[in-house]
Structure 1
Amino acid sequence: MVDKDMALTFSVRNNRGVYALLLGSGVSKAAEIPTGWGVVEDLIEKVAEIEGVEPGDPFEWYEDEYGHPARYDELIEALADTKPERRVLLERYFEPTDEERENEVKTPTDAHKSIAWLMKKGYIRVVLTTNFDNLLESALRDIGVEPTVISTMEAADGAEPLAHVGPVVLKIHGDYKETNLRNTTEELSSYDEPMQELIDEVLNDYGLIICGWSGDTDQALRESILSSKDRRYSTYWTHRSEVSNLAEEIIEHRKGFRLEIEGASQFFSDLKENVRALEKAEDGAPLTREVIRERTKQYLPRNDRRIDLSELMKEETERVYGEVFDYSTLPLNEDVNDENVEQRVETYEQQVEKLVIATSISAYWENEVENPVSRDVLRSVSRLCSPPRPSRYNDAYDHLKKYPATRVFYGTGIAAVEAQNWGLVERLVNTEVQFSRIGRPASLELHPTTVCAHLGHGIRLNSSLLKKRLAENLREPLQDVIPDERRYKDAFSTFEFASDLLYVKENGDMMGSLPDAPRAVYDEGQFEQMTERYESGGGLQTLLDENLGEDVVPDLIEKFRNESTWFR
């Protein structure tokens, strides 16, 4: 399935500077910074203390006492006469004491530090926040970045277009140092025109990543989002629990994606590390399975990334080729015993897994995109079938070295069967490969029976067990294109059924007779299902009839039924 977290990573990485963050109080929660309401509640209690009252509900008491809801600015004025006094009063909520700093309280969290890194690298240029604290600014300054902070109407009025400014922190509800905070329902019902214009610029020109903001109380901001019309880039709404109906309305309006997270720090840390992983991958460092999976899916539908997709496949194929056919580390003349064979097979599986992911995704989606992906897939198979000739070898390992290509062959074929991409299956089974001087079809040369042909009777691994191993070990690499277990088994058995019959035909042509059929490994009842599928017409019947002859296929099926088929 498509991983939205990884999709976001690619969006941020490949669209540098076009995503803005919308951050709410949830981002600073881990730093133990109080919310605006928390500050107001504490200030009311101080006013009540001066009045000699112990209110049950501070907000209700204040409104009854003064005839209107508590306002942040009024409370500040009531408790501190001068600006220095107000600063001292408020610092205790937002600035750490020495002890708190030592305990990392009211200091930048991993979320703030990761956001700062993304901003320094230019991936994020604008942060729109409802928070009053300076944690993000501190995190930026800690890594040598001086942000442009806009928190007042005056600053907003004189601001340049956001695209022309460096990292911007747009504090739409004010900064505690300015004592201009918006917190009440009335205050949050509208913005001054200069600030509103900047908000609209963000909402119309940037994609949005929303974190720590519920959307429940900020009426003006919510209405601004719902009135924005330009959605060139995606919106991602992160949440820890169920989102509210108001949030659902915003997500629907922006055609957004929901991302369930454990917390802001982990989310932004993961985003940072994933972007860094892409940077390293694009600089030539080894690709992870997740990165090659998402890069393949990203390049597939875009004609302007056709060359990138081809290069990705080529580079990964060459990496596999260099590892598989490095005879200094994988000599072909060592002792043939169960331990050595098992170790060799496991090494091959690890070496080729990422290539299997790329080729299977390409095979599955080929009919949905314009890029000629089958060419690159078939080139990968052919390349792994043209190894350098070793000076010394034994036949067992000389044949076993075909196994990496067999895994690509099977992985690609299974994905193509699931997508009903029978044209690619046709080209795949008939592509000519050349392990020796004589070219032979992949259906013959890469069949498990050929791979295990010289292992000998004393070795535990044989063609039947290798088929079972393929069925088990290809499950995870193909999880993305075939998430359903039943469908995976069905696609595997269909491709196995076809390749077995084609193997018999090709091997028979070479031997001048119809040889013994290889053992086919199916779930109970699966063989009969494959037979019925063939008889019902469609892609499988067309493939077999055109390659074997419609008068031959029934005899081959009967041969399998009587001589070779056994069940898991």
Structure 2
Amino acid sequence: MSTDGVVPVAYAMHASPKRYALLLGAGISVAAGLPTASDVSGNMILAIARGRGEEIERGENNKVCLAWFKDTFGEPATFQRLMRELGISEENRKDGLKKFIYKTDDDRNPLSGIPTEAHRAIARLVKSAMISLIITTNFDTLMEEALKAEKVPYEVITEESDIKQMSVFPDRCRVLKVNGDFERGTLRITPEDLKNYPPAIEDYLRRIFGEYGLVICGWSGIYDTHLSRILCAADIPRRYPVFWSWKNERRVPPEVCQALLPNGINIDSADEFFKTLEVIIERFSRYEPRSTLSATAAMKKVKDALRETKPELFLPDLINEETDRVLAFLADRSRYKTDTIDGKEFYTTILREHEDVAAPLAAMVATVAQYDDDTFTDLVKDTIERLINVPPITLGFVDTKGLLRLRHYPALLVIYASGVVAVRTRHFNTLEAIVRRPMKYQYEGALREKVRYYLDINIWNVIGCCQEWITNITQKRFGTETRYQDYPYLVMYEIMQVLIPNRAVFFESLDIFEYIFGLAYLTGSIEEAIEKGEFCSSTPGPLQSRHLYLRQNLLRYQGHYPIFPLPSHVYIFLADLKQNAEGSTFFEGDLSLFEEANQNYAKGFGINPPKTGLTSRKSLIKSNCL
């Protein structure tokens, strides 16, 4: 095995600790002398046949004995049916299965397996905080024994586990045994068993494959048919690359390779692969310590990655590693503990800490929005989606000043920074990836429901509720003449100054972005009819904007409707929208949706709608009916 082939996966794992999950198959445990699932099911069927006084052949891939079982019992072989025919119950399960699971001596007595070098190297990688999630199709306990030997706490998850255990957050080591655990519950060992997984396991796998890169070893993708289908699903975002170590590339189904486009690594054995991987990662850790980036340095790293011949091999890891750092910060419950929870000083400290941790990531994503040619719109969307779905925490006290809301401040800064730049560069596909594609997940039992994020993540909701404290912070940081509403915008400008040095241009682009953000909210979140002028008396949080509060002193009422013009640069942008955005994915590629929201915004504020040259969806439907 060439050591050079292991360097890319070692570098990726070192650059993004705990963001690569292992997918381990039978090839890991075969070196310990344990049979594969196919061997186990075949051995059980042969034992059933012998018990009936029949001698049958196994056949290639168990085809002969599986056909015999179906002909004899009138149904395909499943683990539960094999157990029943062998007289094995839950009470005597462990003893009854041992002779099929473990290797045996000459008298067919089971011999305990011993963790291989691969198992032990993996356990050490978990201990060194490089890995936190292990998916295995094996039902033996060798991985657990290796973790115990390294004194690593772990949690085993099977289809019988509580849904609350099925987290993708890398806060502990989780061993997901997708085909079951030898010691308890259902095993999936026959082709019939492997056709489907329960909904909770399928949902968990989909979340894992979306959140993590993969390092695959000892798994061919041939027999675990449903697992292969989930892994190859086209609608799962791929935030990180897939590395697949194999002895024979041709054994991997071509449709799997086509869907995943894995980085292949030719190996001689799993033991050698994981030992080499461990050595190279340790070398990187010794000579390449990681450090916190400034916003300017973060932008430079993204620019350097985009100059690479294959930026897709570098940029996702760079962005995802920084996102991991932000999420790890937000998951630290101790940051929100204090004896003076009502103090201005504590709130100020927390606010500035969130800005500091988010600034490099906001700068990175904004740089992608500036220079990308639509290659990385999925990366932008996925980054924002991870931030708006930050795992919840409880504070242990009444959150009177919105500390928990500040946990969405990094998401807000990334959304605004990248959105303002996308407006400035007229990158409409990127704008769609920022304002409309990311979804917030709400859980109903084991399944997720996707909802729009605007009501939770807008400036008014995240920091607008603390007016007195924000006023104090604003005047100390930006001068006594500064309004408290300006605070988040001035913070954003500080982050973005390198990309948009002209202050007037920045704030013009900001006004346009906030208008688009408001229209996205009106398109995705409001179904009922909008009354004329209703937003004047009660303005929803996603429609609160800089230009709105700046012009409030200009409002003049006719009855109860204000004269409320939009800034001229918004009108200019909208006048050219049809020409600039046509053919893009902006508003799902249907600009009539944008126009309908544009008219609803105007109606809600009691103003004339800005001219766009577009036709609303309602007007299109009406004209088609005539």
Using structure 1 for the length normalisation, give the TM-score.
0.47
Higher-Rg structure is 1
Using structure 2 for the length normalisation, give the TM-score.
0.43
